[in-house]
């Protein structure tokens, strides 16, 4: 069947050649021009291979133990490289079992995470998916090979979204990470529970929390994990440390609920907060209250800048002036392009941007809108 369309095209060309040599020459020239344009446009893409890290240099990963409660639970924090957008995974360790929260975005990161799980000498029982974004789910493709007996689980609404997005996630992972893409996606299983038990100790699962959504709906679900024995909170992509927060897809309402959650956590007696993304070089200075304050301040600052800027470029420039040293600037770009409906800029292809720059504003907006609507429809119920 896949030969039908090329055969029809060939028949049309042959027919045209027999009918009129001039028409044939014009159509052939147009086709060649289109192919040349496509090759030129493709050359403007950022190369995917640039994102493969060579090693896991940087600060040592930290382990947190209980202070005072006498609990045997411990928490170990893994962070991927800057090219892999510094994704946090947390190992919640008992005396003979371990639970892993977040599977990492790439092959390289997930292999290093698997090494760290093996080094604990404990049995991996669960890999928990805290929200349905590829930077937290793709690494399951590696982990399932290394730990075939582990259960890969998440809240039912998180897992349903992950299943819906698997094909698009694989495509995006290949485009972004090239040989470092962890594919194909592993479907997580729905676990309808408010807690996990680790050797008799409770790990609380707080479902339906609000955070970064990208092309999702503003109320896209995140599961926040709280470990009472360690006074440890894992707020996933609701908090970051020393990196730009992805604000795309948020609304004034969702940001108000997002900030309210953080304010409530600030009232808790917490020893540890491990956010979804942590700039590795800055991880030694991370503290529980510091993470919450940084995240709240950043969202407040972003809202002020967003409300008083005319263009996405202005928002990006002003946020970089306010926060000149923050990592993963790509999150600032992606989030702001989404909020301004500039879908073509999410392709990160300077030649496509040139072509769009030549189009009338109305046509540009309409194309952007159509592209975004189809992306959103494919990634949401
Ligand atoms: Zn993330």
- Please state, in angstroms and rounded to a whole number, the distance separating the CA atoms of residues 302 and 322: 10
**135 C-alpha vs ligand 1 centroid, how far in Å?**
5
- Distance of CA 277 from the midpoint of ligand 1 (Å): 6
- Mean pLDDT of the 154-178 span: 94
Q: From the CA of 90, how far away is ligand 1's center (Å)?
A: 13
Q: Is the pLDDT of residue 292 over 70?
A: yes
**∠ CA 340-336-343 to the nearest 5 degrees?**
55
Residue 50 has pLDDT above 90, yes or no: no
Give me the residue label for tokens 């020393």.
Answer: 242
The pTM is what? 0.89
Ligand 1 centroid to Cα of residue 243, in Å, is 11
Q: The tokens of 159 are what? A: 């897992």
pLDDT band per the 50, 70, 90 thresholds, residue 363: very high
CA angle 165–169–173, rounded 5-degree value:
175
Q: Distance between CA atoms of 231 and 272, rounded to whole angstroms? A: 7
In this structure, of 126-130, 132-136, 150-154, 347-351, the range with the lowest mean pLDDT score is 347-351
367 Cα: distance to centroid of ligand 1 (angstroms): 28
C-alpha 17/C-alpha 9 separation (Å) is: 12
Kindly give the distance from the C-alpha atom of residue 279 to the centroid of ligand 1, in angstroms, as a whole number: 12
User: For residue 242, what is the domain's CATH number?
Assistant: 3.60.15.10
Confirm whether 31 is domain-assigned: no
pLDDT at 48: 63
Alpha carbon of 74 to ligand 1 centroid (Å): 23
Tell me how far apart the alpha carbons of residues 339 and 242 are, in angstroms, rounded to a whole number. 22
Ligand 1: centre distance to CA 239 (Å): 10
For residue 285, CA distances in Å to 110, 241, 270, 279, 320 come to 24, 10, 16, 10, 21
CA nearest neighbour of 173 among 163, 165, 164, 183? 183
Q: How far is the CA of 295 from the centre of ligand 1 (A)?
A: 14
User: How far away, in angstroms, is 276 Cα from ligand 1 center?
Assistant: 6
* pLDDT tens string 240-277: 999 999 999 999 999 999 999 999 999 999 999 999 99
Examine residue 223 and state whether it is found in any structural domain, yes or no: yes
CA of 263 to the centre of ligand 1 (A): 21
User: How much is the pLDDT for 332?
Assistant: 96
CA of 105 to the centre of ligand 1 (A): 9
Measured in Å, residue 117 CA sits from the centre of ligand 1 at: 21
Tokens 């039912």 belong to residue: 156
Q: How far is the CA of 245 from the centre of ligand 1 (A)?
A: 9
Residue pointed to by tokens 């339906």: 208
The answer to whether 124 and 146 have CB atoms below 8 angstroms apart is: no
**Residue 33 domain-assigned (yes or no):** no
Domain, as residue range, for 216: 51-305
Q: Tell me the CA–centroid distance for residue 96 and ligand 1, in Å.
A: 29
pLDDT at 163 over 80: yes
12-16, 38-42, 83-87, 112-116: which is most confident: 112-116
Inside any domain, residue 280: yes
Q: Is residue 7 part of a domain?
A: no
Instruction: Spell out the long-range contacts of 194-198 with Cβ–Cβ below 8 A and sequence spacing 24 or more.
Output: 196/99, 196/126, 196/128, 198/73, 198/92, 198/94, 198/97, 198/99, 198/125
Which residues have a Cβ under 8 Å from the Cβ of 47 and sit 6 or more positions away? 178
Ligand 1 centroid to 356 CA: how many Å? 29
The residue among 347, 348, 342, 338 whose CA lies nearest residue 365 is 342
Tell whether 23 is covered by a domain.
no
237: in domain: yes
Q: What is the pLDDT of residue 318?
A: 98
195-198 and 201-209: which strand pairing? antiparallel
Number of domains in the chain: 1
**Alpha carbon of 39 to ligand 1 centroid (Å):** 32
Average pLDDT on 276-289 reads 95
pLDDT at 173: 92
**56 found inside a domain:** yes
Give residue 188's pLDDT band: very low, low, confident or very high (50, 70, 90): very high
Give the pLDDT score at 279: 94
- Residue 167's CB is within 10 A of a number of other CB atoms, namely 12
Mean pLDDT of 169-190: 93
Q: Give me ligand 1 centre to Cα 240, in Å.
A: 9
Contact by Cβ (8 Å): 161, 216 = yes
Question: How many whole angstroms from 162 Cα to the centroid of ligand 1?
Answer: 13
């Amino acid at each position: 069947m896949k030969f039908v369309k090329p055969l029809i095209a060939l028949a049309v060309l042959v027919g045209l050649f027999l009918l009129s040599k001039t028409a044939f020459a014009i159509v052939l020239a147009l086709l060649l021009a289109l192919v040349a344009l496509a090759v030129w446009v493709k050359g403007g893409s950022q190369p995917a291979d640039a994102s493969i890290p060579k090693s896991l240099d940087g600060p040592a990963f930290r382990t947190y133990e209980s202070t005072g409660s006498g609990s045997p639970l411990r928490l170990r924090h893994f962070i991927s490289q800057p090219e892999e957008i510094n994704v946090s995974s947390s190992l919640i360790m008992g005396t003979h079992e371990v639970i892993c929260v977040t599977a990492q975005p790439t092959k390289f990161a997930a292999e290093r995470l698997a090494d760290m799980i093996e080094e604990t000498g404990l049995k991996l029982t669960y890999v928990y998916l805290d929200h349905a974004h590829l930077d937290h789910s793709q690494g399951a493709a590696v982990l399932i090979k290394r730990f075939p007996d582990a259960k890969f689980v998440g809240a039912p609404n998180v897992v349903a979204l992950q299943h819906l997005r698997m094909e698009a996630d694989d495509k995006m992972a290949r485009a972004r990470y090239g040989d470092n893409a962890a594919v194909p996606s592993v479907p997580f299983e729905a676990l309808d529970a408010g807690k996990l038990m680790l050797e008799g100790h409770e790990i609380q699962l707080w479902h339906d929390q609000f955070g970064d959504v990208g092309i999702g709906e503003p109320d896209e679900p995140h599961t926040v994990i709280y470990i009472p024995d360690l006074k440890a909170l894992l707020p996933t992509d609701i908090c970051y440390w020393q990196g730009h927060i992805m604000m795309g897809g948020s609304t004034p309402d969702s940001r108000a609920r997002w900030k309210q959650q953080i304010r409530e956590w600030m009232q808790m007696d917490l020893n540890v907060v491990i956010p979804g993304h942590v700039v590795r070089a800055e991880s030694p200075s991370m503290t529980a209250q510091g993470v919450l304050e940084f995240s709240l301040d950043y969202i407040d600052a972003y809202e002020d800048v967003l409300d008083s800027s005319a263009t996405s470029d202005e928002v990006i420039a002003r946020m970089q002036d306010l926060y000149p040293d923050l990592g993963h600037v790509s999150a600032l770009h992606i989030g702001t392009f989404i909020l301004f409906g500039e879908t073509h800029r999410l392709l990160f292809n300077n030649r496509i941007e040139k072509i769009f720059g030549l189009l009338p504003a109305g046509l540009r907006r309409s194309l952007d809108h159509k592209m975004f609507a189809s992306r959103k429809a494919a990634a949401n119920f």
